[in-house]
Structure 1
Amino acid sequence: MRRYELVGRRDIRPVADAPVPTPGPLEVLVRVRACTVCNRSDLAYFHYYGLREHAATGCFGHEIAGEVEAIGEGVRRVAPGQRVFVRTPLTTGYAEYALAREISVGALPDSVPFEQGAILQLLPLAVHATRGIRLGDRVVIVGQGPVGQMALRIAVLRGAAEVVAVDLDDWRLARSTEAGADAVHRVDGSAGQLAEVGGRFDVAVDAVGTPTTLNACVGLVRQNGLVVLLGTHHVDTHVTLDLVTWERKGLRVHSSAEPLDAARAEALAVAERIAHRRPGILRLPDLLTHTYPLDDLPKAMEQLSASRALYPDAEPAPYQGPPPETLKVAIVP
């Protein structure tokens, strides 16, 4: 089969005759119909391979939609021929086939095209990240890239009384408004402008993953408020925090990661129900902005790499914000 492999820093290479994986017990082989590029992890692995230890251990190409080709012993939830999306695979989705654990595979509605279905990888992530939002909460989400946009949709669905979206880009914020944001704030990314968003939110979601945005969220929440770590700190892996402020405010914190299979299964089950019963609220067509064939994966990586988020917070960067008019990019084998 054809696939792309990340072999070095900014070095991805096509392989024409890679072996098709064989599913073991509780594993599923998926014929990949689309794989969206992760605007954070895939790009960080691509740019920091060899510079950050985790960049060589994560799965490059992990947002997949396709059809079940074969199942391993003990698989009960899916069957060959079924349309699925994959939360986190065992092998790259930049290929004609990918292997995944059964617990990471969700049923894809017939009404959702595969290119949009691959974006559903973000849905269980957003479900788990927003688990602390309660009915009537005031919520601010810093960062309106794809994962911040998905968190916005789920915050609205959870019954937040007010959802405020913050980003560097007016084009993205316009989509936030269409998805249900009650207010939007355009900032330049500086701590001063982020502080001007206001305060006393019940929940502040860092959907970027930089020292500046995390510390801004600390300032935006009320006493005993909740700070959610949704954006992954792939670039600045060490963040300095004022723990006296955390203690004085009595802040709570949780991440978006599902460290245990029980949490992973619960979030996936909720995501499946939303995708099948409330697909309109997800506005998946608004998130998919570009589609490339597998052979053009380098072009897609180049387009998405024009982003300020790929540079350390304290260092100058050639870009002031995200790639223009770009959210999710789908790769189709």
Structure 2
Amino acid sequence: MKALVWHGKSDIRCESVADPVMEDSRDAIIRVSACAICGSDLHIFDGVIPEMQHGDVLGHETMGEVVDVGKDAGNLKVGDRVVVPFTIACGECFFCKRGFYSGCERTNPDRAKAERMWGHSPAGLFGYSHLLGGYAGGQAEYLRVPYANIGPIKVPEQLTDEQALFLSDIFPTGYMAAEFCNIQPGQTIAIWGCGPVGQMAIRSAFLLGAERVVAVDTVPERLALARDAGAETIDFKTEDVYDRIQALTAGRGADSCIDAVGTEPDTWSAAEAVVDRIKTATFLGTDRPHVLRQAILCCRNFGTVSIVGVYGGFLDQIPMGSAINRGLTFRMAQTPVQHYLPMLMDRIVRGEIDPSFVITHRATLEEGPDLYKTFRDKRDGCIKVVMTP
């Protein structure tokens, strides 16, 4: 089959690889009908994510048709159209039983590596390094889905692939980011990053009752899409973000702040951001947390900072004194997608949101390597890429 394969920093190729095979009675094999490039895939493209190996198949936003299924794969059958969560969960361990599927204790065969880095291991993920299981990803013609009795969810006939695809990751992640804020009527939510997850967070914040959403970015197309949803926007290259949020909130600060950017923010003029770049370039640091610092300072007393942007290691110069003295709450996670799937599927079916609004580029797998570069460089108005193998 054809797949997008990692061969090093900025080196992704469309190649022929072995077809997946059934390995367990709970497995399913799907023929991929749609897959996407996620913003977190760009961290792999940029060489930020450790434990990648030459030949790794990428991708964790995937859906398709079941073509083979094990006898213990729940109620799935050949011919079912399904969307696949990016988090792999057993459904039986301590965390899965409590709905914390992304903390699954059983699905990361590389858990010892993760424990050395983070203390404890999260769940395995599709297409996201040998720190998180080494599972082949779904930017391919076929995908093996382990624990298929827990992961995939059937897609109603009335929904198109493009409406359902983002239930695999970015819609649940954006929704979770807003849900973490415990939004009350009349509140203002500030969101850093108007990429795909940020766009989902903007719309989810309004769905959950926010009166006002303030979106921070600098890419014109992203800011325009945020305004289409009703958000007020701040271009961080032309305005001081802290001063603008203070002005918009009568000096109180945003009720909650969402970091939907993570470890690789765009170029910032702030001195500490320059220092972050120097530290990571000289291996004196692992992440560039400028957005998180700003979100903390822009959040009101006893507000919430919600973090869904990806960080991998250790963060320097975080203003914990500000957070502690002002009573901030931090909420963060890799999304337990299985927890959100049924409810968010219902929202799409009811017409409350159509996640396909975020798609700007449609392509084949063969065009994928070039579109990684387009997406990373924010060229050609690229916000979200969907590929149809």
Question: How far 1:109 moved relative to its partner?
Answer: 3.6
More strand by share: 1
Equivalent in the alignment of 1:311: none
Cα deviation, 1:165-213, whole Å, max 9, x if unaligned, reads 12112321221122232x22222188x4344322522210011114121
TM alignment of 1:107-256, pairs within 5 A: 107-121=154-168, 122-132=170-180, 133-136=182-185, 137-181=187-231, 183-188=232-237, 192-198=240-246, 199-210=252-263, 211-233=289-311, 238-256=315-333
Q: 1:176 to 1:56 in 2, by over 3 A?
A: farther
Provide TM-score, normalisation by structure 1.
0.83
Q: 1:66 to 1:16 in 2, by over 3 A?
A: same
Question: How far 1:29 moved relative to its partner?
Answer: 1.7
Q: How far apart, in 2, do the equivalents of 1:277 and 1:43 lie? A: 33
Q: How far apart, in 2, do the equivalents of 1:124 and 1:233 lie? A: 18
Q: How far apart, in 2, do the equivalents of 1:213 and 1:186 lie? A: 14
Cα deviation, 1:29-67, whole Å, max 9, x if unaligned, reads 21101111012x21111220xx64255599721111211
Q: Report whether the alignment pairs 1:268 with 2:341.
A: yes
Q: 1:129 to 1:23 in 2, by over 3 A?
A: farther
Equivalent in the alignment of 2:275: none
RMSD over aligned Cα, in angstroms?
A: 2.5
Q: How far apart, in 2, do the equivalents of 1:31 and 1:288 lie? A: 22
Q: Report whether the alignment pairs 1:82 with 2:80.
A: yes
Equivalent in the alignment of 1:310: none
Question: How far 1:92 moved relative to its partner?
Answer: 1.5
For 1:53, which of 32, 44, 50 is the aligned residue?
50
Equivalent in the alignment of 1:6: 6
TM alignment of 1:310-325, pairs within 5 A: 322-325=378-381
Equivalent in the alignment of 1:315: none
Native 8 Å contact 2:242 2:297 kept in 1: no
Equivalent in the alignment of 1:298: 369
Percent identity, aligned pairs only, is 28
Equivalent in the alignment of 1:312: none
Native 8 Å contact 1:116 1:288 kept in 2: no
Cα deviation, 1:78-128, whole Å, max 9, x if unaligned, reads 332122222214421121111224333233343443245323321222232
Q: 1:296 to 1:206 in 2, by over 3 A?
A: same
Q: 1:170 to 1:214 in 2, by over 3 A?
A: same
Native 8 Å contact 1:304 1:323 kept in 2: yes
Gaps of 5+ in 2: 87-125, 127-134, 247-251, 264-288
Provide TM-score, normalisation by structure 2.
0.72
Question: How far 1:229 moved relative to its partner?
Answer: 0.6
Q: How far apart, in 2, do the equivalents of 1:325 and 1:72 lie? A: 42
For 2:383, which of 309, 327, 330 is the aligned residue?
327
Q: 1:36 to 1:17 in 2, by over 3 A?
A: closer
Amino acid at match of 1:60: L
Secondary structure in structure 2 of the residue aligned to 1:197: helix
Q: 1:52 to 1:329 in 2, by over 3 A?
A: closer
Report which stretch shifted further, 218-227 or 19-28.
19-28
Secondary structure in structure 2 of the residue aligned to 1:79: coil
Q: 1:167 to 1:291 in 2, by over 3 A?
A: same
Q: How far apart, in 1, do the equivalents of 2:376 and 2:304 lie? A: 31
Equivalent in the alignment of 1:15: 15
Q: How far apart, in 2, do the equivalents of 1:251 and 1:16 lie? A: 50
Q: 1:265 to 1:114 in 2, by over 3 A?
A: closer
Question: How far 1:140 moved relative to its partner?
Answer: 1.0
Q: 1:271 to 1:221 in 2, by over 3 A?
A: same
Gaps of 5+ in 1: 307-321
> Which segments of structure 1 move beyond 4 Å, counting only runs of 4 or more?
54-59
Amino acid at match of 2:78: P
Native 8 Å contact 1:153 1:282 kept in 2: no
